[in-house]
Amino acid sequence: MLKIVVCVSGGGTNLQAIMDAIDSGKITNTQIIAVISNNPGVKALERAEKYGVPGICMSPKSYPDRAAFNEAFTQKMVELAPDLVVLAGFLVKIPEQMVAKFSGRIVNIHPALIPSFCGVGYYGLKVHEKALERGVKVTGATVHFVNEGMDEGPIIAQKPVMVEDGDTPEILQRRVMEQAEWIILPQAIDDVANGRLEIVDGHVRKKA
């Protein structure tokens, strides 16, 4: 059984997609052992409570500085000891010490086709604002392993989504969630849980 901790910052629709996929059997061999939010009072924590998993709030604002937060956050993750950390709309940079301790065991969902519209400053709605500003006709979502860089780890899965005339950032965000994020993130977790992924020469391959 793959024990996962899901990290969230806001609405938690990706968290919901994971919980629903576990309930419907689309994700197997997987148990959510905790949800961590960096923001208090968010809908994602309500979803965790309703689902019956512990919701933990760890805000960087409650610590004297970022180094202290990074240390406490990493320590909490070590205590929870998940097999996989899932960043499902988590808008805080993962501390280097956590990446080192959980190497190859952290996955992130990003709402664009990496390497487009990613890196510092590209998160949440901003990603879709930038995509519309640039006038792209296709965008999408990416699930990837997390390394020390920002949105730079090995790519697990991507799914394209068409941009349509008249899209606003909000409309595009919703379409990318519905047509890509809520599908490829649960699939990637199921692939990890069932040992279907391997990394060859720095690239993720699905085992035959």
Please give the residue ranges that form the binding site for ligand GAR (CB under 6 A).
8, 10-14, 44, 88-89, 91, 109-111, 123-124, 127, 177, 181
* Active-site residue, from 110, 128, 144, 203: 110
Q: Which is nearer to ligand GAR, 14 or 139 (CB)?
A: 14
Q: Is 110 an active-site residue?
A: yes
Give Cα separations from 8 to 38, 137, 176 (angstroms).
7, 29, 18
- Looking only at the bridges linking them, the beta strands covering 30-37 and 106-110 are unpaired
To ligand GAR, the closest distance from the beta carbon of 188 in angstroms equals: 13
Task: Please tell me the distance from the alpha carbon of residue 179 to that of residue 165, in angstroms, as a whole number.
Answer: 17
Considering beta carbons, is residue 144 or 193 the nearer one to ligand GAR? 144
In a 3-state reduction of DSSP, which class is residue 206? strand
43 vs 194, beta carbon nearer ligand GAR: 43
Distance CA(58)–CA(76), nearest Å, equals: 9
- Which residues, including other chains, have CB under 8 Å from residue 203's CB and lie 6 or more apart? 154, 155
Q: Least distance (Å) from ligand GAR to the CB of residue 141?
A: 6
The distance of closest approach from Cβ of residue 200 to ligand GAR in the complex, given in angstroms and rounded to an integer, is: 26
The catalytic residue positions are 110
